Amino acid sequence: MREKVLSTIKKLIFMFLIMLCVVSQSTSTQCKTVLNKKQTESYLQKISKYEMSTIQNPQYGSIGGEWLMIGLARFEKVPSSYVEIYLNNLKEYVKKCDGVLSTRKYTEYSRVVLALTSLGIDPENFEGYDLLKSLAEFDNVNKLGINGPTYALIALDSGDYAIPEPAKSYDGKVTTREKLVGLLVNAQNDDGGWSYMGGKSDVDVTAMAMQALANYKKQSKVEKALEKGIEYLSKKQNKTGAYSTSNSENCESTAQVLTAMSMLNISVKDSRFIKNRNTVLDGLLQFYSNGAFKHTKDTFVNQMATEQGMYGLVAYYRNLADDSNLYDMGDAKKNNNYGTDKKTNKKSYEKKGSKTSENKKKNSLGNTTDNSTGSKSNNNSVSSGNSKKSNASVNSNKNISGTNSDTKNKSKNSKSKKSNNNKDNNNKISNIEDSGNTAESVNVSENEAHKAINQKQKEKSVKNCIILILIIAALATATGIGIFVRKKKKTTKLTMVALVLLVTVTMSGCGKSNAPQKEAGNCTILVECSTIYDNLKDLDKGLKNHIPKDGIILKSQKVKFYEKDTVYDVLKRQLDKNSILMEASFTGKSAYVEGIDNIYEFSCGKKSGWMYSVNDKYPQVSCSEYTVKDGDVIKWRYTCDLGEDVK
């Protein structure tokens, strides 16, 4: 009897261990966060509200402009009044520059084309200008790195546009889709990634290139390139589920990957994109905070991060909703009007004729729109049913889409990509904005920004003076009345009170807003451009004799700084004192230094521009957002190789 009991116990223990192993194995591939449609929509509604309340005057520019409008428009919940503000500002800008958005950065045209297309507006005849025309100039599109052809392809495909004839004055190669696709495929590095202008692969650039190529995945060369790219991104994913640029885990890089996955119909539950049970959504949402996103977890919310985080979620959401993908904007072109948001009864830019639950299909991320769950498929992906049908299947066992082997991918116009970055502009130089991503010179010029600040100070000063005059008048009147009405003793007391109040008010006086700032310490600043001498062949004509012989524009010097001073404040103050020209532009509170002493970005090649370091480290925030501390050593250096030559 005892032996039977022991035998039974042994069998039970053995079975328990087997079950434990099975459970352990199954949970090892499970993921923490997979948002359903309703949950994703809830996030996007909060983000939309935050963005429209923060940026109340959207206008031309990569931040607070086109990428903002693209995210809102593709979510299809943007009020028509908000759209009108943006369009009026854009019209004014386009007229002011006579349709020439840039002669160097052709991503400017691509970005505006995408924004207009997302709003159902024809970029081929916007205020009489054909904004697609410049994208026909292949040599210029490709002039400043891989972002040019990436964005051009996405923009052209967004509305399935025919490529127009280039300007008569242009005598270079003419753009074709074949050339753009071929250039992108050939630019892939051996490790499967892409880089901005050659060299080490970059997560953001890789994700964007893959977004652009997603629509061409039926082509064998493109399919192979995308498979290598997926492998690269899988390897680069951190344990948190997020991604890094320049060794800094950040929102923008993670959003770019989520967008690429959505373009390629890869489920967030695909085992290739789960690390330590964390999905890309886990990685992205760690930067989320009350309707906005942070660049990195230890920073404040940031507009660039918020815009990129939003359209990454929109790309994901549109798949859940069984809509066309983020950059397949044919639906917007067909519905060139403003609908009504049924929930709020307010006019909004909302697509009519959206697919409803009556005819919904299973979505391409491996989740049905009602978020039902299912089992693991046989090709290393997790599916909740059959994926969305389309006409561009990839038949490898572990295929690009990561869905079931009988799954067909998205429709012909499954366009891809996003920026912005970040990298929307062609600057990957970190004085610009947060992260290795780039901001563009947009919106508000330096002079306009300072003029606005000075105007506010003057208004405050005038207001204080008016208040002071009224108080003095009131006290004088009270004193006069006291002299004639009250007894002398009481009058004397009243007069003394009046004098005390008068002195007190005078001490706080009209000029309080212009009072000297409180010194906060000392820092050291240097501005130099010696790297140019190693790259003279790329230097703009006429600048050679202007470059200082030792490369020093502002000698290293210890200077005072004041409370709340930023790196930008210190730079501008010292350059002004030494009568050295600086040009900068602002995006909100973020400054971008374009040129110092007539040496500008791209003055010495495609990879050139100004960078700053503090204590020999290169911050991942704009120079106008880095607060100076006592003892800081600030160095502004001109790079000719995206920072590699100054580190």
Q: What is the pLDDT of residues 329-359, one digit of tens each?
A: 998 877 654 333 333 334 444 443 333 333 3
Strands (E) in 21-108, as ranges, are: 78-79
Q: Which of 485, 514, 543 is the last residue of a domain?
A: 514
Q: Is residue 438 part of a domain?
A: no
| 610 strand-pairing partners | 638
Strands (E) in 164-298, as ranges, are: 243-245, 248-250, 288-289, 292-293
pLDDT in the model for residue 482: 55
| Confidence (pTM) | 0.64
pLDDT in the model for residue 299: 86
Q: Which of 424, 380, 116 is nearest to 272 (CA)?
A: 380
Average pLDDT rounded to a whole number, residues 280-300: 94
Residues 365 and 493 both lie in one domain: no
Model confidence pLDDT, tens digit, residues 475-505: 556 555 555 555 444 555 555 555 555 545 4
134-143, 484-493, 565-574: least confidently modelled range: 484-493
Q: Domain of 283? A: 37-423
Q: Is residue 28 part of a domain?
A: no
311-315, 568-572, 583-587: least confidently modelled range: 583-587
What angle, 0 to 180 degrees and rounded to 10, lies between the N-to-C axes of helices 147-158 and 107-118?
Answer: 20
Average pLDDT rounded to a whole number, residues 33-45: 94
| Residue 339, amino acid | G
Residues 534 and 500 both lie in one domain: no
Q: Is residue 7 part of a domain?
A: no
Average pLDDT rounded to a whole number, residues 154-182: 97
Residues 501 and 526 both lie in one domain: no
pLDDT in the model for residue 515: 56
Average pLDDT, the chain: 78
Residues 155 and 302 both lie in one domain: yes
CA distance 506 to 307: 47
pLDDT in the model for residue 402: 54
pLDDT in the model for residue 425: 38
Residues 543 and 461 both lie in one domain: no
CA distance 147 to 81: 32
**Cα of 25 vs its chain's centroid, Å:** 38
pLDDT in the model for residue 198: 77
409-413, 502-506, 626-630: least confidently modelled range: 409-413
Three-class SS state of 202? strand
Res. 11: pLDDT tops 70: no
Residue 355, burial from CB neighbour count under 10 angstroms (0-12, 13-18, 19+): middle
Res. 378: pLDDT tops 90: no
Residues 410 and 455 both lie in one domain: no
Q: Which of 514, 535, 553 is the last residue of a domain?
A: 514
Residues 489 and 368 both lie in one domain: no
Residues 124 and 142 both lie in one domain: yes
Residues 188 and 71 both lie in one domain: yes
- Which CATH number do you get for residue 197? 1.50.10.20
Q: Is residue 591 part of a domain?
A: yes
Model confidence pLDDT, tens digit, residues 48-95: 999 999 999 999 988 899 999 999 999 998 999 999 999 999 999 999
7-16, 124-133, 135-144, 378-387: least confidently modelled range: 378-387
- Give the pair of three-digit tokens for residue 623: 């120079």
Average pLDDT rounded to a whole number, residues 196-204: 88
pLDDT in the model for residue 138: 98
pLDDT in the model for residue 617: 93
Residues 97 and 191 both lie in one domain: yes
The helix, strand and coil proportions of the chain, stated in percent and rounded to the nearest 5, come to 45, 15, 40
Q: Is residue 608 part of a domain?
A: yes
Per-residue pLDDT band at 394 (split at 50, 70, 90)? very low
Res. 5: pLDDT tops 80: no
Q: Is residue 11 part of a domain?
A: no
CB 176 within 8 A of CB 163: yes
> What is the count of structural domains for the chain?
3
CA distance 260 to 62: 20
Per-residue pLDDT band at 472 (split at 50, 70, 90)? low
CA distance 473 to 471: 5
**Cα of 641 vs its chain's centroid, Å:** 22
- Give the pair of three-digit tokens for residue 427: 């600057």
Question: What one-character-per-residue DSSP string does 345-406 give?
Answer: TEEEE--SS---TTS----TTS--TT-----B-TTS-B-SSPPPP-S----STT-SS-S-TT
Q: Which of 578, 542, 589, 312 is nearest to 444 (CA)?
A: 589
Residues 498 and 543 both lie in one domain: no
Please give the residue that has the higher pLDDT: either 403 or 633.
633
Residues 499 and 540 both lie in one domain: no
Q: In b/e form, how buried is each residue of 175-203, taking b as 16+ CB within 10 angstroms?
A: beeebbbebbbebbbebbbbbbbeeebbb
Q: Is residue 14 part of a domain?
A: no
Alpha-carbon torsion (170, 174, 180, 183), positive or negative: negative
Per-residue pLDDT band at 379 (split at 50, 70, 90)? very low
Task: Give the ranges where 388-509 is alpha helix by DSSP (H).
Answer: 446-485, 488-508
Compute φ and ψ for 509, nearest 5 degrees.
0, -175
Q: Which of 514, 532, 547 is the last residue of a domain?
A: 514
- Which CATH number do you get for residue 546? 2.170.130.30
